[in-house]
Every structure is written in structure tokens, then in C-alpha cells.
Amino acid sequence: MNMLDRLAERPGTVANAGFAVMFTGALAVGAHTLAGNGANWMFDLAVGAVVCAAALLRGHSRTRAAAVALVVCGAAELAAWRWHLPGQPGGAAVLALFVLVGSACRVLPVRPAAAIVAGGVVVTAGTMERYLVFIRDGTPCSYAATWSMGLGLCAAVGTGLWLRSLDGRRQAAIETVRRDERLALARELHDAAAHHITGVVIQAQAARIAARRNAPTLEDNLAAIESAGSDALASMRQVIGLLRDDDDAGGLTPGPERLTDLVERFAGRGPAVRLRLPDGPTDPSWPPEVTTTVCRVVQEALTNVTRHASGAHEVTVALAHDRWNITVEITDDAPAAGSHRFPHSGGYGLVGMRERVEALGGTLSAGPGTGTGWSVLATLPAPGRP
């Protein structure tokens, strides 16, 4: 990593370097000007150096740095008024004070920031009072400097608040991205593992029943458990691989042809499944996010049949598409008494399915079927729809 890259990662260091150059120039110009006029330049230099140092060290504590700068500026104003020293705060001190006020408005909570701004107003008012006193006793004093300090204070406050607003928007955008990523990961983990783990549970229950009866099907049940566990492990590895991948893989992308494998695997441990695929090419060249959503909807619907529709004898998976829409419907023939089990299952399957479908501009409905059973219908806009 070269020096430019390091500086880019630490913008505060770059800003401080720029401020240091600006403060140094202001201190030098102020001392040279006062020395040329025969005034006490050392007092101005000392005050400016302290306030500038506080501004450069503001990263440790902005509240303390601003408090030190305000106290020093106020004390310098009193000393200049009492002993007729050069007007304070000087140019360098004023610039440093503006940096501290703007930084406080950008970062600090409302109350400390408001207190620092109020302190800046008091210091500015002190310069105005000094101007009025000097006018009355005939001592020349520049009103333009006082006016410029007031405008500069307003500019510092405005800049700090504007940067604060930008920081707030940036943080809100970051939080939105993080929330979306968490939801996406939650959907992937749920969809990739829950289907297979549900199979493990069902087969384990069957194995317990078989063990009680000493039935010869126990070995088949254990083999099914092993297969479902292996599938779950493979799915988890896929998700972990996505998390570790530096490239944005965009999620798992099984194609429509994977529906056949999905249905066959489900039929081995649940009701019979009829799969109705549309006529035409096996792979209609859908985008990955569409094929993933179709497969995940079917997978979750079949998983919920296993969990909540023990009385179902047959499940139908129908996939259709035209130039306008892609539809996938999953229906079962469970008795009507079980038609209310799905909404109250307490899981996140329906939520995840709806989020996936709506993210692509589609709709999802789930409810009792016509007569008996349950129906899940997802409708997605066809890619390239006119």
C-alpha cells in the first residue's frame, strides 16, 4: 500500500495536514504584520498557537478542544481590552475556532454542539463590545474584522450542519444495505437448509416408529436421514461459499431443470408429486435471480406440505410462462381441517418467499385451495416483458 492509499483511508489526517499548513501561514502572517506595526506580536502568536493546537488535536475530544479554545479566546479578549494589546482573537485563532465550531456541529450531540456554538457567539459579541468601547475612547479599531468574524461563525455552523446531514444520509444508506444483506442471508440460510433438515426430522420420526415395531424399514429410514443430512450440509457449504466469495455471486442460481430433482427428492419422503412443466425448451434462459426464486418458492412450499399437511396424498407443482408472466403454483389435497395451519406456523418461510417474489416485481398469495388443501401461487414478470 503506497502513501496515497494510506492517506485515502485516513481523511482526517489529510484534513489536519491542510489545517496545519493554513494555521502556520496565518500565524506567520499575523506575527509579521504586528511586528511591522510595532505591536506586541508575541501575545498574538501565543494565543493563536494554543487555539490552533486545540483544533489539530480535536480528534481526541472535540468538546474539550473547543472548550479550551473558547476559554483562551475569551481570556485573550479580556487581556487585550485591559492592557491595550492587539485585538484578540487574531486571524489564526479565529480560523482554528471556526474549525472547532464546525467540527462540533458535525459530530457532537445536539446539546454540546449548541453550547459550543453559544460560546462562539459570546466570543464574537466580545469583539463587538471591544469595537464599541474603542470607538468611544477614540482608539481606532476595524469593524470589518468583527463583521467578518460573525459571518465566518455562521459559515462554520452552516458547514458543520451540512456535513452532519451528509453523514446522516450516508449512515442511513449503509444501514439499509446492511439490513438488506441480513435479510438476503436469512432467506438463503432458511431456503438452503430448512428443506433438508425438515426431511431429517421426518425420517428420524419414521425411524423411531420403525424401531418400536422392529420393522425392516429402519435401515431405509436411516439411509434417508443420512442423505437428507448430506444435502443439508452441501447447501450450507454453498451459502458459506457465497459469504466467503470476494465476487458478488448474486445468490444461488439453480435452473428450472432442477425442479425435477427437487420434486423427486421430496417424493421420496412425502406425498406423491406431479410436476407440470411448460412446453418448449428446458431452459428458457431466465436470469439467475428468476430461476432461483422459482426454485426457492417450490422448495419452501413442499417443505411446508411436509411440516403442516400430514394428511396430503398428492401435491401438484405447475410451472407456466408466456411473454408477460411466469407463474408457479403448488397445491396439495390435504383435508380442509388442516387448511389454516400455514399462516400460524411461526416460521419465516412465507415471509422469505414473499420478499423474494416482490423484490422482482411479482406477487405471492397463499391460502386454502378450492375445496381442499392449500395453494401457493407466485407470479413474476417475464424477463424482457414488452
Tell me how far apart the alpha carbons of residues 331 and 233 are, in angstroms, rounded to a whole number.
28
Considering 9-18, 51-60, 293-302, 327-336, the range whose residues carry the highest mean pLDDT is 51-60
* Better pLDDT: 294 or 288: 294
Cα 90 to the center of its chain, rounded Å = 44
pTM of the model: 0.54
The radius of gyration of the chain from alpha carbons, rounded to an integer in Å, stands at 36
Amino acid (1-letter code) at residue 203: Q
pLDDT of amino acid 191: 62
> Residue for cell digits 470476494?
246
Tell me how far apart the alpha carbons of residues 82 and 259 are, in angstroms, rounded to a whole number.
90
pLDDT of amino acid 110: 93
Find the mean pLDDT for residues 188-205: 64
Residue 10 DSSP symbol:
-
Whether the predicted pLDDT of 282 surpasses 60? no
DSSP string, 32-60: HHHHHTT--HHHHHHHHHHHHHHHHTTTT
Cα 166 to the center of its chain, rounded Å = 15
Output the CA angle 319-322-327, nearest 5 degrees: 35
pLDDT of amino acid 147: 76
pLDDT of amino acid 26: 92
Find the mean pLDDT for residues 51-66: 93
Strands (E), 120-185: none
Is 51 in contact with 96 (CB distance < 8 Å)?
Answer: yes
pLDDT of amino acid 190: 62
pLDDT of amino acid 304: 83
pLDDT of amino acid 7: 41
pLDDT digits (tens, 9 = 90+) for 345-369: 445 567 778 888 888 888 999 888 7
pLDDT of amino acid 70: 94
What are the structural domains, with CATH classification, of the chain?
A: 3-141 (no CATH), 265-386 (3.30.565.10)
pLDDT of amino acid 355: 81
